[in-house]
Amino acid sequence: MRFADRVVFVTGAGSGIGRATARLFAAEGASVFAVDVNEQGVAQTVDAIRQAHGTADGLRCDVTSTPAVEAAVGRAVAAFGGLDILVNAAGIGRFLRFEEMDEAEFERTLSVNLGGSFRTIKAALPHLLKPPIGNVVNVASTAAFRGNAYASAYAASKAGLLNFSRSLALEFASRDLRVNCVCPGGVKTPLVRGFMRREDFEQHLIDYQMPPKAGTFSEPEDIAKAIAFLASDDARFVNGAGLLVDSGTLA
C-alpha cells in the first residue's frame, strides 16, 4: 500500500498504459482520478477500480485543451481534497512517411504528447507543491533517445518530453518536486496498431526498434510497475531520469 492517502491524476487512462497505471495505483491504496479523450474508456477504467474495491473517479478530458485540463484537475482536487502524483500517459502516434504528413498531424502529435504534459503540470503544480510534496511521471518512449524513420513527429514529441521533464526536475529540485520519465519500447496497447510496418518502408531503418529477443513486447502492466516505482518513496533519490523499459532494445 505504497500510495495510501495519496491522490493520483492519470491521463490516457481509458486504455493501455494509462489504464494499467490507474488500476495499479488504486490497488496500492491511492485515490485515482482518471481522464482520457475516450469517455467510455475512462468509465470502464473507473468501474474496474471500483469493482476491485478501489477509489476512483474520472471524466472525459482532451489534454490539448487548457480549459478542459484545468477543469479536470479542479474536479480531482474537489473530489479527493488534493493532488499528490501526476502521471501523463496520454499519447498518440503512428508510422507515416514525412511526405505524407501534413502540418495538422505534426502539430496535433506535439500538442498531445508534449503539450498535454505541459498543460497538466501547469494546472497541477500548485497542488503538487503543497506538503507532502508530490511528483510527476511522464510517459516518453525509446523514441526519445534516437531518430525514428517514419515517425518523425512522434520521435520529436517524445524527445521533447524527456528534456522537458529533465528541465523541470532541475528547476524544482530545491522545492523537492521530482519529475521523471518512463521510456517504454514496444508495448501491447492500442497505440501499437499505428506502428505497423508497410511494404514501401526501408526495412533496415526500423529493424533496430525490435527487442533483441523476438516476441518480447511488454504488457501495459510492466510499464505501470515502472511508473509506480518512480512515483513512490522507493525512488526518492530518482529525479530527471529517463527510465528505459524496453527489454534491451536500445542496449
At 216 the pLDDT is: 73
Provide the domain count of the chain: 1
At 163 the pLDDT is: 98
Residue identified by cell 478501489 is: 54
Contact in structure between 161 and 140 (CB atoms under 8 Å): yes
pLDDT, mean over the chain: 94
154 is catalytic: yes
| Residue 251 belongs to a domain | no
At 109 the pLDDT is: 97
At 188 the pLDDT is: 85
d(Cα 14, Cα 70) in Å, to the nearest integer? 19
- How much is the average pLDDT of 193-202? 74
Residue identified by cell 500548485 is: 126
- For the cut 80, the answer to whether the pLDDT of residue 205 exceeds it is no
- For the cut 90, the answer to whether the pLDDT of residue 31 exceeds it is yes
Angle 73-76-77 (CA atoms, 0-180°, nearest 5)? Answer: 90
In the numeric block, which cell numbers belong to residue 238?
Answer: 530518482
Tell me the pLDDT band of 186, cut-offs 50, 70 and 90. confident
Q: What is the pLDDT of residues 122-155, one digit of tens each?
A: 999 999 999 999 999 999 999 999 998 999 999 9
Residue 138: domain span:
7-245
| Residue 91 belongs to a domain | yes
Tell me the pLDDT band of 17, cut-offs 50, 70 and 90. very high
Question: CATH number of the domain that 116 lies in?
Answer: 3.40.50.720
| Residue 97 belongs to a domain | yes
Length of the chain: 251
Q: What letter does residue 218 receive in the DSSP assignment?
A: B
Angle 113-232-23 (CA atoms, 0-180°, nearest 5)? Answer: 65
At 157 the pLDDT is: 98
Tell me the pLDDT band of 206, cut-offs 50, 70 and 90. confident
d(Cα 179, Cα 214) in Å, to the nearest integer? 32
Tell me the pLDDT band of 16, cut-offs 50, 70 and 90. very high
- For the cut 90, the answer to whether the pLDDT of residue 207 exceeds it is no
| Residue 163 belongs to a domain | yes
Q: Percentage of the chain surpassing pLDDT 70?
A: 98
Q: Please state, in angstroms and as integers, the Cα–Cα distance from residue 41 to each residue in 16, 38, 48, 61, 187, following that order.
A: 10, 5, 11, 12, 18
| Residue 63 belongs to a domain | yes
d(Cα 91, Cα 112) in Å, to the nearest integer? 6
Of 154, 164, 172, 195, catalytic: 154
| Residue 19 belongs to a domain | yes
Tell me the pLDDT band of 191, cut-offs 50, 70 and 90. confident
Determine phi and psi for 212, rounding to 5 degrees.
-65, -30
Sign of CA dihedral 172, 174, 178, 181: positive
Closest CA to 20 of 192, 188, 154, 230: 188
| Residue 1 belongs to a domain | no
- How much is the average pLDDT of 49-56? 98
At 194 the pLDDT is: 65
- How much is the average pLDDT of 152-180? 98
Buried residues in 220-244 as b, exposed as e (16+ CB within 10 A)? bebbbbbbbbbbbeebeebbbbbbb
Please report the DSSP string for 60-72 in residue order: E--TT-HHHHHHH
Residue identified by cell 527487442 is: 211
| Residue 231 belongs to a domain | yes
